[in-house]
Amino acid sequence: MRDELSASRGEASRAPDASPAAAPAAACSAPSGRAPAAAPSSARPLLVALAGNPNAGKTTIFNALTGARHKVGNYPGVTVEKREGRLSHRDREIRLVDLPGVYSLTAYSADEVVARDFVLEERPDLVVDVLDSTNLERHLYLCLQLLELGVPVVGALNMSDEAEAKGIAVDEERLGALLGLRFVKTARGAGMEALLDAILEAAEGRGPEPRLPSYGPELDARAADLEAAIAADPAFAARVPARWLALKLLEKDEAAERLLRGERPSGGEAGPAHARLEEVERILGAARLRLERHFGRDAEIVVSERRYASVHGAVAESTRLAGKARFSLSEKADALLMSPLLGLPAFLLVMYGIFKLTFALGAYPTAWLEALFSGLAGLAGSALPDGLAKSLVVDGILGGVGGVLSFVPPIVILFLCLSFLEDSGYMARAAFITDRFLHRFGLHGQSFLPLVLGFGCSVPAIMSARTLKSSRDRVATVLAVPFMSCGAKLPVYVLLAGAFFPRNPAAAIMGVYGAGVALALLSSLILKRTILRGEATPFVMELPPYRLPTLRGILAHVGEKTGSYLRKAGTVILAASVLIWAVTTFPLAPEGATPDEALAYSAAGRAGKAVEPLLSPLGFDWKIGVAAVTGFAAKEVVVSTLGVLYRTDLDGSEAGPRGLAERLKEDSGMTPLVAFVLMLFVLVMPPCLAALAAIKAELGWRWLAFEAAYLAALSWGLAFLVYRGGLLLGLGA
């Protein structure tokens, strides 16, 4: 997943040299300082960016256009990284880039920066703005900001079917004439032909003449003054659209101020500063003052209000509202799910239901799969001649990989539930309900989604923390995600709980999950009080309407996640199983050694004995220690390692092959206390390599090093305390 993303990023960053040459042909009438250019040569694919507010349906359009099956979410900010697809229309190659959803181009959060920098730096030939037709007034706000950039824009009036059902009639011709761009109605992937035609038309300069939006005489005049001052440095104005920069400067946008001084919006060098910096800053100061006097409020608010005024005028002239069925099913559901009294119990019930479903329902197919793998091991055991090959197949491969594959069913169920919640729009409600609580622990209502996704897999969970605005909140959230018991830890819990807490395995598993949540909160609280001090950050988010998730969308998502789990079982875990089989088998013990003596003689035995002093305070003997430590590669490996370490020893048993849980119970000498400590240790130990890579990508090396050291120390300390405490309480037996 990450590889794909970074690959697409790499590709996107190689292309920009090509863009200025073919700078939008249609932009020539806009006094943006861009050089007019000939129609783009047909040799180079058109670079088209998909922009739009969160929940406008960008990803659906992206999928419909490219045939890709990306995850569509119903939560602000599901597309946290831009994605790229290719298609061709009427013999024209198009590179389509799906940008994260943003309300505005003010670079308020990390995903807004991604979207804004793409349009500014990569200079796409055209931007398709995807708008929700049921709420044009809000969505056109971004459209105007795209027009300010002087880039050709085509508007996709998405969800036009829902708008019609609500009695909203949009005259797209009229709206287009008012704002100077083509609008095309789309809905659920329909209308793509017309949209593509409009894209080609606009990119080849055959569309309506683009013009800069007008914000009333006073603001237009101030912006024009400033634009002229910026355009006085032609080299600078060729890099940065002057009108856009003028408006952003009036808005007191810090990134724009940095750009003027020659710094990149996100920090670092971008190019020379404006040649007449002082002159521009003088005019800017005077213009802001005049605006604030004229309108009687801060300039940044004025620009925003004038934009909305312009939107309001255009919408009023082009749309009619028949009937007023305003409050719908969404409102009825929210009356319960977001109610001050019942919202929290409903939320807890939903969470409980998910876990109940995962474990109770998942237990049956898991048992069947376990039986299947035991049967296969028995079959292979009797078919293969005694020797190393048999040992490799039975103990190494079937024992290791089979142990992990048995846990696919509960993981599929968990992903199904999480996808359903995410697509339905419930996650934003949960953020509303949990904000006050999370806020107390130094987290944020918007930390909720990353934390819950952490029950599935830490990698997307860590990435989804980008929707958080302040870096303090983002750091706190990312650092808390590994405490959530991800799908890979689940097999470890299920195995150990099944073996050592046979009366009530679900309670033991819930206990570990609960401990994870409690640790995430406590740890965040400690970080908030120590190294992550800072101001409380605002909580302002849009509440998306409920949408019935589509089966196709959910299955695509679950298929992708399950596929990646299976791939992991076929690659990393297979390799790890074989490796662990090898180090537990070689060097071969002298003839006549018992299996235990042979194991102790092997490389793993010797290494395990060497580190035993470190792990014996936790109640782990060297075998358990080896299994626990291999979890650094991926958590499921703990299960496969146990499978290899506690071998089937087919020859000795009369009753046929025993399941891994049984072998653990009978052969490992673990007590329930040690098993529970092992579960806690696996919960808290540093996450797998993929998750560590995600932390590095989001927060950098320093935080990665901190988190790894912190979790390593905490997992040992916690395991030590619980084990010693348990012994004192007499739970050691």
Residues that bind another protein (CB under 8 A): 103-104, 106, 108, 134-135, 137-138, 141, 251-252, 297-298, 300-301, 304-305, 308-309, 334, 338-341, 343, 428, 431-433, 435-436, 439, 445, 536, 538-543, 545
Residue with tokens 């009978």: 666
What is the rounded distance in angstroms from the CA atom of residue 49 to the CA atom of residue 124? 6
| DSSP label of 482 | G
| DSSP label of 269 | B
> With respect to another protein, which residue has the nearer C-beta, 282 or 297?
297
> With respect to another protein, which residue has the nearer C-beta, 300 or 612?
300
Question: Could you tell me the smallest distance in angstroms from the CB atom of residue 463 to another protein?
Answer: 22
Q: Which stretches within 296-328 are classed as H helix?
A: 299-318
Question: Could you tell me the smallest distance in angstroms from the CB atom of residue 253 to another protein?
Answer: 8
Question: Could you tell me the smallest distance in angstroms from the CB atom of residue 541 to another protein?
Answer: 5
> With respect to another protein, which residue has the nearer C-beta, 431 or 638?
431
> With respect to another protein, which residue has the nearer C-beta, 450 or 498?
450
| DSSP label of 436 | H
Distance between first and last Cα of the chain: 45
3-class SS of residue 131:
strand
Say if residues 533 and 704 touch (Cβ distance below 8 Å).
no
Question: Could you tell me the smallest distance in angstroms from the CB atom of residue 355 to another protein?
Answer: 25
> With respect to another protein, which residue has the nearer C-beta, 541 or 719?
541
> With respect to another protein, which residue has the nearer C-beta, 122 or 542?
542
> With respect to another protein, which residue has the nearer C-beta, 538 or 669?
538
> With respect to another protein, which residue has the nearer C-beta, 543 or 578?
543
What is the rounded distance in angstroms from the CA atom of residue 556 to the CA atom of residue 568? 18
> With respect to another protein, which residue has the nearer C-beta, 131 or 719?
131
> With respect to another protein, which residue has the nearer C-beta, 70 or 307?
307
Residue 492 zone, left/alpha/beta (φ > 0; ψ -120 to 50; rest) = alpha
Question: Could you tell me the smallest distance in angstroms from the CB atom of residue 225 to another protein?
Answer: 22
Q: Which residue, among 54, 57, 546, has the nearest Cα to 327 in the 3D structure?
A: 546
What is the rounded distance in angstroms from the CA atom of residue 200 to the CA atom of residue 18? 18
Residues 6 or more apart in contact with residue 517 via CB below 8 angstroms: 483, 484
DSSP 24-45: -GGGGGS-SSPPP-PPPPTTSP
Residues 6 or more apart in contact with residue 493 via CB below 8 angstroms: 485, 508, 509, 512, 679, 682
Question: Could you tell me the smallest distance in angstroms from the CB atom of residue 331 to another protein?
Answer: 8
Long-range contacts of 264-269 (CB under 8 A, 24+ apart): 265/107, 265/113, 265/116, 265/117, 265/120, 266/113, 266/117
Question: Could you tell me the smallest distance in angstroms from the CB atom of residue 509 to another protein?
Answer: 31
What is the rounded distance in angstroms from the CA atom of residue 158 to the CA atom of residue 61? 9
Question: Could you tell me the smallest distance in angstroms from the CB atom of residue 315 to another protein?
Answer: 10
Question: Could you tell me the smallest distance in angstroms from the CB atom of residue 466 to another protein?
Answer: 17
Residue 585 tokens read as: 């088998």
Question: Could you tell me the smallest distance in angstroms from the CB atom of residue 250 to another protein?
Answer: 12
Cα distances from 442 to residues 445, 522, 528, 608, in angstroms, run 10, 9, 5, 40
Q: Which residue, among 72, 116, 123, has the nearest Cα to 95 in the 3D structure?
A: 123
Cα distances from 20 to residues 47, 86, 230, 256, in angstroms, run 11, 20, 19, 21
Residue at 316: amino acid letter: A
Question: Could you tell me the smallest distance in angstroms from the CB atom of residue 549 to another protein?
Answer: 20
> With respect to another protein, which residue has the nearer C-beta, 171 or 305?
305
Question: Could you tell me the smallest distance in angstroms from the CB atom of residue 374 to another protein?
Answer: 51
> With respect to another protein, which residue has the nearer C-beta, 432 or 676?
432
Nearest-10 Cα torsion for 567, 569, 574, 575? 60
